[in-house]
C-alpha cells in the first residue's frame, strides 16, 4: 500500500484543518505564489491591520500582488498557532524585505474560516515594534548582514 501523496501546491492544501490552511496561506505568500494564497480565501475576504484601512475582496488580491516583485519579499515565523473550530489565532514574527532592508516585527493574527477558506484576516501589531524592526533592519544593512 502506498503512502498518500503530499499536495504539491498550497491551493491543494485546503483541509478541514483551519490551522493548516492558514499555514499554507503564509507558505504561498512566502513563495510569492499570490494566486495560490488567494485560492485559500473566499472572494469576499476581509483583511484588517492595526491602524490601516480595511481591505475587502479584490483589494486584498491587489495588495498582496505587491509582494511579487524582485525587490520585495515577505516571510513569517510562527511562534504559536491554535485553532478553535473555524477560528485560528497566531503569534508570529513577520519580515518585510524592501531591497536590502528587512524589517521584522511581532504580529498577532485572528483568522476566521468558512467552508475551509479564509474569510477574515485580522492582524494586530504595534507601530512602535515596526519602528524598532526598521531600526534593526537598518543596523543589519549597515553591517552588511
Active site residues: 94, 123
- Reported in sequence order, the residue ranges of 1-145 that DSSP labels E, i.e. its strands, are 41-49, 55-56, 72-84, 87-98, 101-114, 117-124
- How far apart CA 21 and CA 112 sit, in angstroms, is 11
Ramachandran bin of 51, using left for φ above 0, alpha for ψ from -120 to 50, beta for the remaining angles? left
The 8-class DSSP code of residue 5 comes to P
The answer to whether the beta carbons of residues 126 and 106 sit under 8 Å apart is yes
List the Cα angle 107/108/113 in 5-degree steps.
125
- How far apart CA 47 and CA 64 sit, in angstroms, is 11
Amino acid at each position: 500500500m502506498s503512502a498518500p501523496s503530499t499536495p504539491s501546491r498550497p491551493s491543494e492544501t485546503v483541509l478541514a484543518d483551519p490551522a493548516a490552511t492558514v499555514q499554507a496561506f503564509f507558505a504561498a505568500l512566502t513563495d510569492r505564489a499570490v494566486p495560490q494564497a488567494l485560492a485559500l480565501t473566499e472572494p469576499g475576504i476581509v483583511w484588517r491591520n492595526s491602524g490601516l484601512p480595511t481591505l475587502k475582496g479584490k483589494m486584498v488580491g491587489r495588495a498582496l500582488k505587491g509582494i511579487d516583485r524582485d525587490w520585495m519579499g515577505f516571510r513569517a515565523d510562527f511562534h504559536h498557532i491554535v485553532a478553535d473550530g473555524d477560528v485560528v489565532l497566531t503569534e508570529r514574527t513577520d519580515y518585510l524585505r524592501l531591497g536590502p532592508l528587512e524589517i521584522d516585527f511581532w504580529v498577532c493574527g485572528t483568522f476566521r474560516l468558512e467552508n475551509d477558506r479564509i474569510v477574515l484576516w485580522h492582524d494586530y501589531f504595534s507601530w512602535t515594534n515596526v519602528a524598532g524592526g526598521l531600526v534593526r533592519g537598518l543596523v543589519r544593512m549597515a553591517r552588511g548582514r
